[in-house]
Amino acid sequence: MNIIVTGGAGFIGSNFIFYMMKQHPEDRIVCLDKLTYAGNLSTLEPVMDSPNFRFVKMDICDRAAVYGLFEEEHPDVVVNFAAESHVDRSIENPEIFLQTNIIGTSVLMDACRKYGIQRYHQVSTDEVYGDLPIDRPDLFFTENTPLHTSSPYSSSKASADLLVNAYHRTYGLPTTISRCSNNYGPYQFPEKLIPLMIANALADKPLPVYGEGLNVRDWLYVEDHCKAIDLIIRKGRVGEVYNIGGHNEMRNIDIVRLICEALGKPESLITHVTDRKGHDQRYAIDPAKIHNELGWLPETMFKDGIKKTIQWYLDHQDWWKTIISGEYQNYYQKMYGNR
Ligand code: NAD
Ligand code: TDX
């Protein structure tokens, strides 16, 4: 198969490329990425010289360039990870989220229609369902839960999902959508909760917990997400949505405490800061459909995954220190002040 992976220089996309190149060495992977602040070419160094891999710097919103690439590559499958992905940034500046996440998705699907494709897969998120109350642990998101978004980010992802379903129904495009819970693991940009707390703790800096830290997220090790997407593009039913999650709900404050403990840092570093606007209370995925239809189950226990992740950040300090030393400092200053 010839697979175009968009957003492959980011966190999940790069992990997906490594996973696919190991599992399916006969496939060819073309990574299309704009290299925004969240994209890092250095991440892809281990595969850059592989004959089955090609990197192309490109914006998914650039219709002429995208069509040109499809004409050259004739991909069988497109997996779209490319997105603006950080909720806090979407609250500050929604526009780029609408551009990339909605318009970009439509450009990619137009290219798929024009040049033909076996499968277009949209990587979506549990955030499209909105949130669940913390005091109702019996409730979960299923694929039939209505879309009910809170942030500009999740609204842009839900809009893209609606477009994907429209392209399937109207044009017969062979699409699938996956909606995954919070990922953690290597190469996650240090603006996100887990790597941010690891980086700050290592520097003995305050650990900024929004509000009381009681919000709940359903954490999945990134490789388990990659395995699920691989299964969906090979065996998933066209036109379907698959939820992905590992029944691993944790409160933010407990994650931060665990990181302090693992790094031998005092909990006194924890600083409660102003809550995120519109902060979703709880996400929790019911993964019964992907389990029953495709046999997928998460394989990494949280206690092992978080240990591996913390060790990875300890072993790859150059990777994240380079990232946080540049433009990111302006963002950090705006978000957290001098903390
Ligand atoms: P990320 O921010 O780490 O990476 C995004 C990548 O997309 C970057 O390499 C960036 O350069 C690229 N990109 C951004 N705009 C682009 C454009 N216009 N054209 C081409 N490339 C562009 O994001 P991530 O955390 O790896 O998330 C990947 C996908 O998975 C996103 O669609 C996100 O919505 C979804 N998702 C993420 C999570 C999570 O926990 N991180 C969970 C569920 C779903
Ligand atoms: O400094 C912080 N302090 C804090 O308390 C940050 C950055 C986050 N938080 C809280 C907010 C959330 O409740 O931690 C939780 C996780 O925050 P993020 O890492 O920003 O993730 P989240 O908002 O849950 O969204 C993530 O999961 C779903 C990804 O960023 C999305 O791309 C994905 O769709």
Transcribe 18-72 into DSSP letters.
Answer: HHHHHH-TTSEEEEEE---TT--GGGGHHHHT-TTEEEEE--TT-HHHHHHHHHH
The number of distinct structural domains making up the chain is: 1
Q: Which of 4, 5, 11, 182 to mutate to test the pocket of ligand 1 (most atoms within 8 A of CB)?
A: 11
Q: How far is the CA of 268 from the centre of ligand 1 (A)?
A: 33
Q: Is 175 in the pocket of ligand 2 (CB under 6 A)?
A: no
Confidence (pTM)? 0.98
Measured distance CA(92)–CA(334) in Å, rounded = 10
Backbone angles phi, psi at 7, to 5 degrees: 70, 25
Domain residues for the domain of 300 are 2-189+220-249+283-305
Average pLDDT, the chain: 97
pLDDT digits 0-9 by tens, 227-274: 999 999 999 999 999 999 989 999 999 999 999 999 999 999 999 999
Q: Are 281 and 213 in contact (CB under 8 A)?
A: no
Helix (H, G, I), strand (E, B) or coil at 176: strand
Question: Residues, the chain, total?
Answer: 339
User: Of the listed 126, 161, 223, 230, which one is catalytic?
Assistant: 126
pLDDT digits 0-9 by tens, 105-155: 999 999 999 999 999 999 999 999 999 999 999 999 999 999 999 999 999
ipTM of the complex: 0.99
Q: Which of 123, 157, 177, 217 to mutate to test the pocket of ligand 2 (most atoms within 8 A of CB)?
A: 217
Is residue 314 domain-resident? no
pLDDT at 338 over 80: no
Quote the tokens at residue 157.
């992802």
Is residue 338 domain-resident? no
> Please, which pLDDT band fits residue 326 given cuts at 50, 70 and 90?
confident
pLDDT digits 0-9 by tens, 192-232: 999 999 999 999 999 999 999 999 999 999 999 999 999 99
Is residue 177 domain-resident? yes
Is residue 200 domain-resident? no
> How large is the average pLDDT for residues 297-301?
97
Backbone angles phi, psi at 93, to 5 degrees: -150, 90
Is residue 143 domain-resident? yes
Q: Which amino acid, one-letter code, is at 28?
A: R
pLDDT at 265: 98
> How large is the average pLDDT for residues 288-308?
98
Backbone angles phi, psi at 51, to 5 degrees: -65, -20
pLDDT at 339 over 90: no
Distances (CA, A) of 16 to 7, 10, 20, 219: 10, 10, 6, 17
Percent of the chain surpassing pLDDT 90: 98
The DSSP secondary structure of 210-249, one letter per residue, reads ETTS--EEE-EEHHHHHHHHHHHHHHSPTT-EEEE--S-E
Measured distance CA(43)–CA(56) in Å, rounded = 14
pLDDT digits 0-9 by tens, 160-176: 999 999 999 999 999 99
Is residue 13 domain-resident? yes
Identify the bridge partners of residue 29 per DSSP, sorted by sequence position: 3, 53
Question: What angle do helix axes 302-315 and 193-202 make, rounded to 10 degrees?
Answer: 50
Strands 216-218 and 249-251: antiparallel
Identify the bridge partners of residue 127 per DSSP, sorted by sequence position: none
Is residue 287 domain-resident? yes
Q: Say which residues have a Cβ less than 8 Å from residue 192's Cβ, sequence separation at least 6.
A: 11, 86
pLDDT digits 0-9 by tens, 94-105: 999 999 999 999
> How large is the average pLDDT for residues 48-76?
98
Check which CATH number belongs to the domain holding 58 and give it.
3.40.50.720
Is residue 90 domain-resident? yes
